[in-house]
Structure 1
Amino acid sequence: MPRTLLARTFLLLATLVLLTTAAWLSLFRYMDAEPRARETAQLAASAVNLIRASLFAAAPQRRFGLFAEFSSREGIRLLPAEPGDEIEAMPDSRFFTLLQKELNQRLGDHTRIAASVDGVPGFWVSFRLDDADDEEYWLVLPRERATRSFARHWLTWGLLAVGLALGVAWLIASRISKPLKAMASSAETVGRGQIPEPLPEDGADELKRLATAFNAMAADLQRNERERSEVLAGISHDLRTPLTRLRLEAELSVADENARQGVVSDIEQMEGVISQFMDYARAESGEPPSPTDLPALLASIAARQNHVGRHVSTDLPALNEVSVRPKAIARAVTNLVDNAAKYAGGEISLRLSSDEREIHIDVGDRGPGVPESEVDRLKRPFTRLETARSNATGTGLGLAIVERVARLHEGRLALLPNPGGGLLARLSLPIRR
């Protein structure tokens, strides 16, 4: 079966049209057999009766000329029946069964029909000049008298009718699948965190109600996302001011150096949490895609990380510019590097590769890795490994932010085992130049 709804619906409708056409043709053939057999039998019986009358009325010396005239003008031949004739019966079909029955009623039970006699094809009908006479003759009529060939124009009209029915079937199938295809595309847009264009609310009542419900759902999701972002952004913004005052108070009021550094470290940790809230609440869809030099962007991220004391080794081959959202990509890669430094420590690798369809940004570490059963759970917001809860700080939003950026670019985030040990976080993006 085809995979698309359009192809499946058209195939079912086309099958229905063809089966219906075949059924009508079979019914027509069945209904046409009896009147056509009666008409053919009447024609053959009339020819036999005419020949009988002509032979009885003609003088014996004129009969040979009469036979020749029948053959030249009417295409009718008369031959004597011989006991040794090789007779080929007519096909075993309902039409010829009815024809035999009709001829027996009109000419007598001794009447036979044949498709050929002694290898000569035609419409052969046996008869006797007198019912009391044992001598038989063959009346040879053109084979076309017993068969019917459809005229070319009838065949043309039939093909046109079937073609028109298939065209209407395709129109029906396309009108059913087109709004569903548009709805699937809009659903994919919603899944990437973007705002789809409203679906047209027209057509059949069921499709109209479906489009209306989908538009309402998309609008509700958009409103909920906007309200959530506003709440997170508002809370984060309101917390920054007291944290700044606390930092200033600690710098001026706490005399003990160790205590002051501890307070400042706690404040910096809280600011980092707030920054992650802001990153998660930020609407990435507000940044339009633009041609970006990915190797240069990733090199600048690695340079900043090395500047703050993290050793990030890079493998960034040259690559043509691609259309991405650079700020969102930078935010995602930075979160991956932060996660690697936070949970694994040591050397971090940043590599860029590509194939015909995708670009792969790999951030690897030599930490304990992630169990395969936990991969999907870790991509959800506010989620961390159980073993990381006691010794790692943060909100559990890092991978959720990366996952949102990947979906925004119609890509994906994969957490894979790093060859040699550790975790390899791979951000795959489709190539769009």
Structure 2
Amino acid sequence: MPRSLLARTFLWVALLVVVTNAAWVMIFRLADAEPRARALAQFSASAVNLVRVALLTAAPELRPALLQELSDREGIRLLPRDPLDQITSLPSDGFMAMTQEQIRLLLGPGTKLSLKVNGEAGLWISFAMAPNEPDEFWLILPVDRAERRIPWPWLGWGALAAMLALVVAWLLASRISRPLRRMAQAARQVGLGRTPHPLVEEGPDELQRLASAFNRMSRDLAYHEKERAEILAGISHDLRTPLARMRLEAELSLPEGPAQAGMAADIAQMDAIIAQFLDYARGEGEELVEQYDPRALLESLAHHGQAIQRPAHLEIHGDLPPAPLRPRAVSRALGNLVDNAWKYGSPPITLSGRVHKGWLELSVQDSGEGIPPEEVERLKQPFTRRESARSGASGTGLGLAIAERVARNHGGSLELGTGVDGKGLLATLKFPLSPVPDSPHLG
């Protein structure tokens, strides 16, 4: 069965049209068979009776001319019947059986019929000149008298009606499936965290109500998302202002030393936590997809790591073609993976990129203890960390969640596994090399 609603609906309607037409053809054949059999029997009996009377009343010297005239004008021939004739019996059912029954009612039960005698085709009917006369004759009518003529005009009109029914079925099915397809595309946009254009509220009443409800839901989600962004922006401003004052007071009031360095580190950690919360809440914003060079993105991250004393070894496997990416979002996701590698793993850290089986794979590997396979899906959830990391690390549990959401919004995925050397954690972001449907894209 096809997967789409349009194809399935059209298939079932087409099947119904075909079955209905076939049923009507059978009804027509059954309704037409008996009148045709009765008419053919009446014609055959009349021909036999006329030939018998003509031969009995005509002078002997005129009979050959009479038989020749019947043959030339009506295609009727007369032959003597031989007991050794090879007779092909008529079918025991159907149109010819009904014809044979009607002819025997008119000419007598001893009448024999055949469509082929001694290999010669025709409608062969036996009769005797007199009731008790032993000699019998064959009256041979043209075979086309018994053939069913194909009613081409009827078939043409029937085919035209079937085609019109199929076209109307396609139009009806498309009018139902088209709004549902637009709604599915809009739902995908909502799932990716975007606000789709309002759906057109048209068509049947049920589809109008469905489109109206979806538009209302989309507006409500957009409104709540806007409120959340405004609240988080306000929180960010309100928290970062006192943090800046605390940083300034620590630099002015505390002497240089461990106390001032510790205070500055705590303030920087609090600022980083706020930034990560905002990154998760903000998502990818209105950043557009563009054909971006993954090599440039990886090199930029590697240079940044060198600058902040967190180096990452860069490995590029083969050519990396430009891919449809949101560069800032992907850079943020890879940055979170590198931060996690430094926080929960151990150096050396490897940043790599390759194209594998039609996917762009950007990976970060550390040399730590890794994570158990049963913990992988749980650690992708927001605000989730391993128990061993809760006391020793200062993260929020959002790094993997942000990376996973960025990959999913690109039509890809985040995979966590063991490193290529059998130790450490290998985190891989997989992106398609062609734009995912319904994504804003700049050529």
1:212: which partner in 2?
212
Tell me by how many angstroms 1:230 deviates.
2.1
For residues 366-404 of structure 1, give each alpha carbon's deviation from its aligned partner in whole angstroms, at most 9, with x where no partner exists.
Answer: 222233333222222212222221211121111222222
State the Cα distance separating 1:140 from its structure 2 match. 0.7
Whether 1:284 aligns to 2:284 is yes
Matched residue type, 2:429 = L
Distance 1:381 1:224 in 2: 20
Deviations 1:155-181 (A, max 9, x none): 333333332222222222222222222
Q: Does 1:397 align with 2:410?
A: no
Q: Is the 8 A contact 1:233 1:277 kept in 2?
A: no
CA-to-partner distance for each residue in 1:85-144, whole Å, 9 max, x for gaps?
Answer: 111012333212211121111111111211111111111111222223333221111111
> Offset at 1:356?
6.8
Distance in 2 separating the partners of 1:141 and 1:285:
89
Instruction: Give the deviation of 1:303 after TM superposition.
Output: 0.9
Q: CA RMSD in A?
A: 2.0
How far apart are residue 83 of structure 1 and its match? 1.3
Give unmatched runs, 5+ long, in structure 2: 435-442
* Aligned partner (choices 424, 427, 436) of residue 425 of structure 1: 427
What amino acid does structure 1 have at the position aligned with 2:409?
A: L
State how 1:117-266 maps to structure 2 within 5 Å: 117-255=117-255, 257-266=257-266
SS in 2 for 1:86: coil
- 1:69-148 alignment, distance < 5 Å: 69-148=69-148
TM value normalised by structure 1 = 0.94
1:30 aligned residue: 30
1:385 equivalent in structure 2: 386
> 1:410 maps to which residue?
411
- List per-residue Cα deviations over 1:71-96 (Å, max 9, x = no partner): 11110011111211111012333212
1:318 CA displacement: 5.0
Structure 2 Cα separation of the partners of residues 70 and 2 of structure 1:
63
Normalised TM-score (structure 2) = 0.92
Distance in 1 (CA, whole Å) between partners of 2:411 and 2:58 is 98
Q: SS in structure 2 opposite 1:69?
A: helix
Q: Distance in 1 between matches of 2:7 and 2:419?
A: 43
Task: Percent identity, please.
Answer: 51
Q: CA deviation at 1:154?
A: 3.5
Query: Once structures 1 and 2 are overlaid, which stretch shifts more, 134-143 or 164-173?
Result: 164-173
Deviation at 1:256, TM superposition (A): 7.9
Question: What is the SS of the residue equivalent to 1:363?
Answer: strand
1:322-337 correspondence to structure 2 within 5 Å: 322-337=323-338
Q: Quote the residue 1:68 is aligned against.
A: 68
- Residue of structure 2 equivalent to 1:273: 273
Partner amino acid, structure 2, of 1:425: A
Partner of 1:341: 342
For 2:38, the aligned partner's letter is R
Aligned AA for 2:262?
G
Would the aligned equivalents of 1:230 and 1:281 in 2 still touch at CA under 8 Å?
A: no
Partner deviation per Cα, 1:316-352 (whole Å, 9 max, x = no partner): 3553433422211211111111111111021111111
Amino acid at match of 2:238: D
Letter in 1 for 2:115: A
AA aligned to 2:55 is: L
Counterpart residue type for residue 414 of structure 2 = L
State the 1:355 CA deviation: 4.6
Deviations 1:246-277 (A, max 9, x none): 22222233358333332222211111100101
| CA positional deviation for 1:197 | 1.9
Instruction: Tell me, yes or no, if the aligned pair for 2:284 and 2:329 is still in contact at 8 Å.
Output: yes
How many residues are aligned here?
433
- Secondary structure (helix, strand or coil) at the match of 1:87 reads coil
Question: Using the alignment, how far apart are the partners of 2:143 and 2:285 within structure 1?
Answer: 79
Matched to 1:38, the amino acid is R
The one-letter code matched in structure 2 to 1:211 is: A
SS in 1 for 2:109: coil
TM-aligned CA distance change 1:320 to 1:369, over 3 Å: same
Deviation at residue 234 of structure 1 after TM alignment: 1.7
